[in-house]
Amino acid sequence: MMNIVLLEPEMPSNTGNIGRTCAATNTRLHLIEPLGFKLNEKALKRAGLDYWDKLDVQVYSDYQDFLDKNPDAAGNMYFATTKAHKVYSEVKYSSDCYLMFGKESAGIPEEILVQHEDHCVRIPMWGDIRSLNLSNSAAIVLYEALRQNGFEKMERNGRLHHLQWKDEA
């Protein structure tokens, strides 16, 4: 199972959107406090729609609490940052990796990034754009990791329902 880790997320709508993406991909969502919202806020539930109850979500008091409770994240975590030297599509993701994203206003603290520089990844952007929306960034990196693992156990085929149109001439 893939893992999305949000370090101190601030906006309930972004976390709700990411939660919906996690539910749609059977990805566990890890939330590291402090959160900029309450988990029962309407904006969070509205963005996650009716999928929030299908979500595997874990909450941690701080970064160290997360590390203590997820020892398998060591060496198996990628840190999304505009400061990375590698593009997100240039690394090989395991089927149980952790993808960390920082808070909307500041990203992942530099002291964490420096400790894991080889596992930092970025999404290329044009010009002087500072960053993408957090929920968009999470979806982009997650779907690359899922693609690399063959979209394991995910529905890959859609079905069109052919409608019969009457010609009322």
Instruction: Give 47-68 pLDDT, tens digit per residue.
Output: 555 677 788 999 999 999 999 9
Per-residue pLDDT averaged across 74-91, rounded? 96
Quote the pLDDT of residue 45. Answer: 64
Quote the pLDDT of residue 154. Answer: 75
Q: What residue segments make up the domains of the chain, in order of their start?
A: 3-148
Q: Which residue has the higher pLDDT, 66 or 159?
A: 66
Residue 131 marked ligand-binding: yes
Alpha-carbon span 151 to 144, nearest angstrom:
9
CATH 3.40.1280.10 fits 3-148, yes or no: yes
Query: 111: which 2 tokens?
Result: 């002291």
Q: What is the mean pLDDT of the chain?
A: 90
Q: What is the largest CA-CA distance in the chain?
A: 71
pLDDT at 80 over 90: yes
Determine if the pTM surpasses 0.85.
yes
Quote the pLDDT of residue 44. Answer: 64
Q: Which residues of 86-118 are buried (b: 16+ CB within 10 A; e: fewer)?
A: eebeebebeeebbbbbbbbeebbeeebbeebee
Q: Are 132 and 124 in contact (CB under 8 A)?
A: no
pLDDT tens-digit series, residues 108-147: 999 999 999 999 999 999 988 888 999 999 999 999 999 9
Residue 105 marked ligand-binding: no
Coil vs helix vs strand at 112:
helix
Residue 108 marked ligand-binding: no
pLDDT tens-digit series, residues 3-28: 999 999 999 889 989 999 999 999 99
Per-residue pLDDT averaged across 94-120, rounded? 97
Read off the pLDDT band of 69 (50, 70, 90).
very high
pLDDT at 156 over 70: yes
Quote the pLDDT of residue 101. Answer: 98
Query: 62: which 2 tokens?
Result: 């701080």
